Amino acid sequence: MLQRRGFRRAGFFSARFAVRATLGGVKAFQLVAHGAPGRFELRELPEPRPGPGEALVRVQACGLNRLDLWLEEAGLPIPVSLPRTPGGEIAGIIAALGPDVSGWRVGDAVAVQSNLFCGECEFCRRGDESLCLRGELLGVQRDGGFAEAVVVPVRALVRLPEGVDFDTSAALTLAGSTAMHMLTRRATVRPGDWVLVIAGASGVGSSAIQIAKHLGGRVLSTGSTEAKRALARQLGAEHALDATDPDWPRQVRQLTGRRGVDLVVEHVGGETLLRCLDCLARGGTLVTCGATAGREVRFNLWPFFVKEHRLIGSYGRTRADIVATLEWAAVGRLKPVVDSVFPLERAADAFARLRSRQALGKILIKPFEPVAESD
Ligand SMILES: [Zn+2]
């Protein structure tokens, strides 16, 4: 499955599609009660209508992310009203446009930026949509893409480049651009730098290894199973360490001639983040975008300032990061790693698979068979 789906070349196809003008009702996979697992229902809803500045997107594929599990488990520090359709990593076709929309046509193939932004605040105006003062998370604060169709603001649309199919987009738009943001905007990789990517088989990790490698970094990674470590090596890590072995930070020191790494890409938090600080070389940087394993940590400031370490937060992505991610995918520089694909009816099984921590790469949900794909 991995070799077949993950490393195949993206199929080339025309970027515009014929779509029915109306869909009638739309099926949506909705969370109706929080839990682990939560309670979901596949519901038939009236077709949503795009308002001014909005588009109706017929969803072709939507990636599943840790964010969806946090929504399911009520683990987000933001209020959420139920029922809610999860799903923020949407690839699809524009099926209808609201009034006052220019620059887009029905049939255009698009990816959707999941961190919705106002486009007007001081941070949006300088291109830092990840810092928007009025930001909203698609699939959390408004209905997302585990549905046959979804209404989104057109400012969140990104045109799919030639050569990037819907599965590739749905596997990279959120997780891949998160890694792009961390490695190219929040931190930098100099040629020859040692880069440690935590959890290399995850959505963010699998992209981060490829991006760091392409930027000239020497990559180390971690994984909790041999299959995950093998994937990390396949993607370009020189070594993949056993995350269940408490000795792994010492192995990082050994592998780097005792100096440590220049950059850590971290998205787990808790104890893992502390162990990562131990792995930093003098002048090293730790960039983090998640805290699954714990949001509060204590660490010793003495080595932190003496060794001139940097601890950098990273949140989401900008539009420029998504454009770069899809362009890298179009030229084959960044390849999606797809673990499995589920139909909308079996989306609960997709959630269970991500929760099991057995996934190698991305899990996708597809409400329809692909409209056009030249495999
Ligand atoms: Zn804004």
CA nearest to 306, candidates 287, 281, 286: 281
Whole-number pLDDT of residue 23 = 60
Q: Ligand 1 centre and the CA of 125: distance in Å?
A: 7
Q: Ligand 1 centre and the CA of 74: distance in Å?
A: 26
- pLDDT at position 9 over 90: no
Residue 128, φ and ψ in degrees, nearest 5: -100, 65
Q: How far apart are CA 127 and CA 119, in angstroms?
A: 9
Q: Ligand 1 centre and the CA of 172: distance in Å?
A: 23
- 222-225 own/partner pairs: CB under 8 Å, 24+ apart: 222/196, 222/197, 222/198, 222/248, 223/199, 224/199, 224/357, 225/358
Q: Ligand 1 centre and the CA of 70: distance in Å?
A: 24
Whole-number pLDDT of residue 293 = 86
- pLDDT at position 5 over 70: no
Q: What is the pLDDT of residues 192-245, one digit of tens each?
A: 999 999 999 999 999 999 999 999 999 999 999 999 999 999 999 999 999 999
Mean pLDDT of 13-18: 57
Q: Which residue has the tokens 């890298």?
A: 328
Q: Which band of pLDDT confidence, cut at 50, 70 and 90, is reported for residue 11?
A: very low
Whole-number pLDDT of residue 15 = 56
Whole-number pLDDT of residue 113 = 97
Q: Ligand 1 centre and the CA of 140: distance in Å?
A: 18
CA nearest to 374, candidates 6, 9, 2: 9
Whole-number pLDDT of residue 370 = 46
Q: Hey, is 31 helix, strand or coil?
A: strand
pTM of the model: 0.91
Q: How far apart are CA 357 and CA 338, in angstroms?
A: 14
Reading the block at residue 68, the tokens are 């969806």
- pLDDT at position 372 over 70: no
Q: How far apart are CA 64 and CA 89, in angstroms?
A: 7
Mean pLDDT of 271-276: 96
Instruction: State the angle between helix axes of 226-235 and 203-214 in degrees (0 to 180), rounded to the nearest 10.
Output: 30
Q: Ligand 1 centre and the CA of 95: distance in Å?
A: 26
Mean pLDDT of 72-94: 95
Whole-number pLDDT of residue 237 = 98
- 17-39 b/e with 16+ CB inside 10 Å = b? bebeeebeebbbbbbeebeeebe
Q: What is the pLDDT of residues 181-198, one digit of tens each?
A: 999 999 999 999 999 999
Choice between 286 and 369, residue whose per-residue pLDDT is larger: 286
Q: Ligand 1 centre and the CA of 134: distance in Å?
A: 5
Mean pLDDT of 243-269: 97
Report CA-CA distances (Å) from 308 to 14, 178, 281, 303: 50, 25, 9, 8
Q: Ligand 1 centre and the CA of 115: distance in Å?
A: 10
Q: Ligand 1 centre and the CA of 320: distance in Å?
A: 15
Whole-number pLDDT of residue 291 = 87
Q: Ligand 1 centre and the CA of 135: distance in Å?
A: 6
- pLDDT at position 13 over 50: no
Whole-number pLDDT of residue 54 = 98
Q: Ligand 1 centre and the CA of 195: distance in Å?
A: 32
- pLDDT at position 8 over 50: no
Q: What is the pLDDT of residues 290-343, one digit of tens each?
A: 888 889 999 999 999 999 999 999 999 999 999 999 999 999 999 999 999 999
CA nearest to 56, candidates 145, 116, 168, 174: 145
Residues in the chain: 375
Q: Ligand 1 centre and the CA of 44: distance in Å?
A: 33
Whole-number pLDDT of residue 246 = 95
Q: Ligand 1 centre and the CA of 120: distance in Å?
A: 5
Q: Ligand 1 centre and the CA of 113: distance in Å?
A: 13
Q: How far apart are CA 192 and CA 261, in angstroms?
A: 11
- pLDDT at position 178 over 80: yes
Reading the block at residue 16, the tokens are 């515009």
Q: Ligand 1 centre and the CA of 40: distance in Å?
A: 32
Q: Do 153 and 170 form a contact (C-beta atoms < 8 A)?
A: no
Instruction: State the angle between helix axes of 203-214 and 319-330 in degrees (0 to 180), rounded to the nearest 10.
Output: 70
Whole-number pLDDT of residue 308 = 98
Q: What is the pLDDT of residues 92-142, one digit of tens each?
A: 999 999 999 999 999 999 999 999 999 999 999 999 999 999 999 999 999
Choice between 157 and 24, residue whose per-residue pLDDT is larger: 157
Q: What is the pLDDT of residues 18-62, one digit of tens each?
A: 665 556 799 999 999 999 999 999 999 999 999 999 999 999 999
- Contacts with 99 (C-beta within 8 Å, 6 or more apart), sequence order: 51, 52
Please provide the distance, in angstroms rounded to a whole number, between the alpha carbons at the two ends of the chain. 15
- pLDDT at position 353 over 50: yes
Following DSSP, what letter does each residue of 155-224 receive, concatenated?
GGEEEPPTT--HHHHHHHTTHHHHHHIIIIIIS---TT-EEEESSTTSHHHHHHHHHHHHTT-EEEEEES
CA nearest to 15, candidates 173, 158, 138: 158
